[in-house]
Amino acid sequence: MATTDKKDYYGMLGVKKSASSEDIRKAFRKLARKYHPDVNPNDKKAEEKFKEISEANDVLSDPKKRKIYDQVGFYSDNIDAATADAYARGGGQPGAGGFRGGGSGGGQGQEVPFDFSNFDFGQAHGGGRGGGFRDIFGSMFGGGGGFSTHAGPEPGDDLEYQVSVTFWQAIRGAEMKLNIQRADEHGRMTTEPITFRIKAGTRDGQRIRLAGKGNPGRMGGPAGDLYLIMKIEGHPVFRREGDDIYVTVPIMPWEAALGAKVEVPTIDGRAQLRIPAGTQTGQKLRMREKGVKSATREGTTGDQIVELKIVVPQVPNVESKDIWHKLEKLHEGEDPRSELLRNSER
């Protein structure tokens, strides 16, 4: 009997055995977002679950590994394709026949049964101690001539992480640190700290590629890449769209009516803005090159768009009330709703 239980990789990802590569990819990404250590800090169960689904994805997303897993019931780096094929032809059961190795006595081959009673299944996926099927058949056939297959170098898998970035870090650029989980050369999941820099003006959703920071390659192949997707946090005053900055600025009725020069916030500090006479609520004024220095278009800077909002003051005393009544009499007969009412009757 096997010394360890076989793992149901399809069950771990919640897909059927007939699932396509795209189905497997989608299932893993959905579960990875749910159980990723960055989303579940200090949650050991989530960390273990993430390791399990990562292991399942590593095998099922690789056509060669998946075929071996489907044929044998588990995956080990010590099992080659020819061995797995022979095991499947033998019925997939311990003790089933299937190989005919070259005998020393004559021209007829001699049937060699599979007997896994002493095989250590614990060296499945990611085992690094040697042994397994390859060693068994190597001793049977004098080094395994004809039965082992050596795949060529294969690049490692790419990794993708979402990184939370503050509003000001994205505006000004920053050096950032992140702990990522990536496989080592033996296939074990490990945590590795990395340091990277984002450019000033980095946008929400922008991807940063760190070459060679993904999972290591196989058989001497190059490592995959690490892709970092920027998730920019909001700000209580400024709203960013591309390289433009939007801000709502309150003004008093007399500033709107008479015009004024007011102080407004920008991402580079305070600046003066001229309000034209007769300004209405919702009117937008553009401040050229007061936005974000572009991270993608060298030498260009966005604008700041200021939306004006007229604020009606409280009436704290009789004198103030009298002034408002005088204004009312001066504008007697004017109705700002007349056009609205006329158009509603058409």
**DSSP string for residues in 59-121:** HHTSHHHHHHHHHHSS--TT--HHHHHHHHHTTSSTT---EEEPPSSSSS-EEE----TT--G
pLDDT of residue 104: 35
Q: State CA 63 to chain mean position distance.
A: 23
pLDDT of residue 110: 36
Taking a C-beta distance cutoff of 8 angstroms, is the pair 150, 205 a contact? no
pLDDT of residue 43: 87
Angle (deg, nearest 10), helices 21-35 and 44-60: 170
In the predicted structure, residue 60 carries a pLDDT above the cut 70: yes
Residues 6 or more apart whose CB falls under 8 angstroms from that of 303 comprise 244, 245, 286, 287, 288, 289, 290, 291
pLDDT digits (tens, 9 = 90+) for 214-266: 888 888 889 999 999 999 999 999 999 999 999 999 999 999 999 999 999 99
Instruction: Provide the mean pLDDT of the chain.
Output: 80
User: Band of the pLDDT at 151, cuts 50, 70, 90?
Assistant: low
In the predicted structure, residue 102 carries a pLDDT above the cut 90: no
Distance CA 278, CA 321 (A): 23
pLDDT of residue 91: 59
Higher pLDDT, residue 119 or 215 = 215
Residues 6 or more apart whose CB falls under 8 angstroms from that of 332 comprise none
Q: Which pair of tokens denotes residue 131?
A: 């042994």
CA dihedral 189, 192, 196, 198 (to 10 degrees): 50
Cβ-count burial 66-77 (b if 16+ within 10 Å, e if not)? bebbbbbbbbbb
In the predicted structure, residue 269 carries a pLDDT above the cut 80: yes
At CA 303, angle to CA 169 and CA 306, rounded to 5?
Answer: 100
Q: Which pair of tokens denotes residue 87?
A: 């095991």
Burial (0-12, 13-18, 19+ Cβ within 10 Å), 276: exposed
User: Band of the pLDDT at 5, cuts 50, 70, 90?
Assistant: low
Mean pLDDT of 106-125: 41
pLDDT of residue 146: 40
Question: What does each C-alpha distance from 285 to 119, 220, 306 come to in angstroms?
Answer: 77, 59, 5
Question: What does each C-alpha distance from 147 to 123, 127, 153, 335 come to in angstroms?
Answer: 20, 20, 19, 94
pLDDT of residue 122: 40
Mean pLDDT of 281-308: 94
pLDDT digits (tens, 9 = 90+) for 185-212: 776 788 989 999 999 999 999 999 999 9
Report DSSP state, residue 270. Answer: E
Q: Which pair of tokens denotes residue 65?
A: 């590994």
Q: Which of 48-62, 89-103, 134-148 is predicted most confidently?
A: 48-62
In the predicted structure, residue 117 carries a pLDDT above the cut 50: no
Higher pLDDT, residue 339 or 111 = 339
The percentage of residues in the chain with a pLDDT greater than 90, rounded to a whole number, is 45
pLDDT of residue 183: 82
Mean pLDDT of 166-192: 88
